[in-house]
Amino acid sequence: MPDRDWHPIAKRLWGSLKQRGQADFYQQSDWALAYSLCEDLSFYKKSGKRSGQMLQTIYSAFGRLLVAEGDRRRVRIKLHEPTSQEQSAAVLAIAD
């Protein structure tokens, strides 16, 4: 559950992580990292003075969680929407 004090973008990102196909494969440590990164992103977005280095570090860490499609392509993972005959997008990703 997102922290109610997070910046709206951090809340939206956290919510979207739970709806992604790769979320089926996240372990507790991945969720803890994602939570920490959303906390950092919220702090960054709310701060008056922003550091480009801090933002790059946050985005890089999200990349390790394969959040963006480009990150997934880099490691050759492609998620497909499930059809009525398939169980889930995550199962299809493993099957391929």
Mean pLDDT of the chain: 83
Tell whether 90 is covered by a domain: no
Tell whether 38 is covered by a domain: yes
Domain count, the chain: 1
Tell whether 85 is covered by a domain: no
- For residue 57, the surrounding DSSP H or E stretch is helix 52-64
Higher pLDDT, 3 or 38: 38
In terms of residues, how long is the chain? 96
Residue 74 has pLDDT above 70, yes or no: yes
Residue 87 has pLDDT above 60, yes or no: no
Q: What is the pTM of this model?
A: 0.75
Residue 24: give the domain boundaries: 8-68
